Amino acid sequence: MREAFGLLLSGDRETWHIVWLSVRFSLFSTLFSAAPGIALGAALASRPFRGRRFLAAALNALTALPTVVVGLFAYSLVTRSGPLGFTGFLFAPGGVILGQSLLALPVVAALTYTGLARLDPRFRETLVTLGAGRGRRFLATLREARPVLIAAIVAAFGRVTGEVGVSMMLGGNIRWSTRTMTTAIALDAAKGDFERALSLGLVLLVLALGVNVALHAIAPDER
Amino acid sequence: MKRIFIATALAAALVLGLAAQSPANPRLRIATTTSTEQSGLLAAILPAFEKATGYRTEVVAVGTGASLKIGEKGDCDVVIVHARALEDAFMAAGFGADRRDLMYNDFIVLGPAADPAGVAKTKSALEAFSAIAKAQAGFVSRGDNSGTHTKEKDIWKAVVIAPAGVWYKEAGQGMSQVILMAEQMGAYTLADRGTWLAMKDKSSLKILSQGDKLYFNPYGVITVNPAKWPQANYAGAKALMEWLTGPTGRALIEGYKIGGEQCFYLY
């Protein structure tokens, strides 16, 4: 345990590079999944239609999909013989970010949908009586639901920082390129380097704590 | 974007005075058996290759079967593996452009010091494997179509035993994981010497059978066929192959030692 801390504090270059890559991939994939996810969730919540409950259930199911399944699907897209093969994303950062975005998208959408569906229905009616147009109504709703949206995004960030299936399959755990905290932990544990694995685990823990503390600071639970 | 990148690369090369050697496509992807990576060999010798040629190598270490599959789909530029029959099939199917013998070492049977199956007393690979099966002593198999797994299956076939039962555990993991698992379970396993040398300080397992001809473990390097996959970095793959089998690569491979012991041998 002491060695684990020592490794971090001594500023081992590779360890910190791995941490940096992890954070970068997670930020990008959260960012890429946030807009379409929120749009999807909002569209679903905006008015009832046939099959809405089925779609919402499907979305919820997707949030629990094993990461290796998402990884497998993304792999089949970006392999040279796949439809996105020309991108050269496989075994490159692009592949990890693509896979993680696919992983995060349903999380953002499902949480946005549940959050918006729970808004007081009078809120919308008030907007309508005030004569707000569609666009204004949409923006006002998003502002009202800000804590929900932030929570959705943070949950997505949590899902992608903690996953190993997509990173391993699409990134290939390449040193200095796609070796993230989770794949490095898997490798270190495999090689029996438990101190290093443990030190990265600690960083992951601190990161998760930090993000959640930050969330509570900017979006206090109002109830 | 690409143009900017090339321009930057060229500028950097000029500054370093390497303009003549700077490759057009510096990214070189190597799919390899876990043993070349987990033994530490590639990390030890590839920096010299990068420095001499300007290529930037990226190593995906997944086992021989998976490496060849990745090459088959054109998702890497060069493969370094150890299962001659699979390599020949890969070449025959036209997935590879060139193949060369790279180096060799040998497989060993590891097991607990207590040696419940009496493997240390056996005189050959066949005897060792039948002793384990007869005693139904724990055996951890790679179970991942790697080169080592392929060799293990060949030996079982040679002793005419189809291993099955609670004593036979298919792990589906890399070599060093399997060594760790075998130790925890007090079981036997077949390992390549390179990974074992890198692991032995962390393990209480002992070498109980070695030296049989059947344990021969040759490695090959194969370039992915550019006729099949035009995007593959064939120039880079070829450069790596020449370098590895040339004087510098050979000297570095031969000189690579763990705890004073040589890991890989040359033909």
CA dist B48 and B32 (Å) reads 18
Q: Which of A119-128, A130-139, B17-26, B212-221 has the highest mean pLDDT?
A: B212-221
**Range of lowest pLDDT (A91-95, A190-194, B91-95):** A190-194
* Bridge partners, residue B219, by sequence: B103
- What is the 8-class DSSP label of residue A10? T
- In Å, how far is A150's CA from the nearest CA of chain B? 33
Mean pLDDT of B182-188: 92
Domain boundaries, chain B: 2-105+218-262, 106-216
- Judged by CB atoms closer than 8 Å, whether chains meet at B73 and A80 is answered as yes
Tell me the pLDDT tens digit for each residue of B61-119: 998 999 999 999 999 999 999 999 999 999 999 999 999 999 999 999 999 999 999 99
Q: Which residues of chain A approach chain B closer than 8 Å at the C-beta?
A: 79-81, 85-86, 88, 90-91, 172-175, 177, 190-192
Residues of B in contact with A183 (CB under 8 A): none
pLDDT at A220 over 80: no
Tell me the pLDDT tens digit for each residue of B22-59: 788 999 999 999 999 989 999 999 999 999 999 999 99
* Bridge partners, residue B84, by sequence: none
Mutate to test the interface with B, among A76, A191, A193 (most CBs of B within 10 A): A191
- In Å, how far is B254's CA from the nearest CA of chain A? 23
Domain B106-216 CATH (choose: 3.40.190.10, 3.10.129.10, 3.30.450.40, 3.30.499.10): 3.40.190.10
The shortest CB-CB distance from B231 to any of A80, A175, A192 is to A80
* pLDDT at A223 (0 to 100): 45
% of chain A surpassing 90 pLDDT: 56
The fold for domain B2-105+218-262 equals D-Maltodextrin-Binding Protein; domain 2 (3.40.190)
Alpha helices, H only, B171-246: 175-185, 193-199, 234-245
How confident is residue B150, by pLDDT bands cut at 50, 70 and 90? very high
Spatial neighbors of A128 by CB under 8 A, at least 6 apart, are A137
Q: Total domain count for chain A? A: 1
Domain range for A143: 2-215
Nearest to B148 by CA among B10, B244, B33: B33
Mean pLDDT of A30-48: 93
* pLDDT at A208 (0 to 100): 87
Tell me the pLDDT tens digit for each residue of B233-266: 999 999 999 999 999 999 999 999 999 999 999 9
How confident is residue B137, by pLDDT bands cut at 50, 70 and 90? very high
* pLDDT at A211 (0 to 100): 84
ipTM: 0.71
* pLDDT at B7 (0 to 100): 58
- Judged by CB atoms closer than 8 Å, whether chains meet at B60 and A190 is answered as no
**Range of lowest pLDDT (A76-85, A165-174, B4-13, B70-79):** B4-13
Integer Rg of chain A from CA: 20
Angle between helices B147-158 and B125-135 (to 10 degrees): 80
How confident is residue B19, by pLDDT bands cut at 50, 70 and 90? very low
pTM score, two decimals? 0.80
Q: Please classify residue B201 by burial: count the beta carbons closer than 10 Å to its beta carbon, then call 0-12 exposed, 13-18 middle and 19+ buried.
A: exposed
pLDDT at A177 over 50: yes
Residue-averaged pLDDT of chain A: 89
Mean pLDDT of A24-36: 96
CATH code (residue A145): 1.10.3720.10
Instruction: Pick the residue from chain A with its C-alpha nearest to B62.
Output: A172
pLDDT at A222 over 60: no
Using left for φ > 0, alpha for ψ between -120 and 50, and beta otherwise, residue A172 falls in left
Using left for φ > 0, alpha for ψ between -120 and 50, and beta otherwise, residue A167 falls in alpha
Q: Please classify residue B228 by burial: count the beta carbons closer than 10 Å to its beta carbon, then call 0-12 exposed, 13-18 middle and 19+ buried.
A: middle
Residues of B in contact with A72 (CB under 8 A): none
What element of type H or E holds B229?
Answer: none
Residue A199 lies in a domain: yes
Instruction: Pick the residue from chain A with its C-alpha nearest to B203.
Output: A192
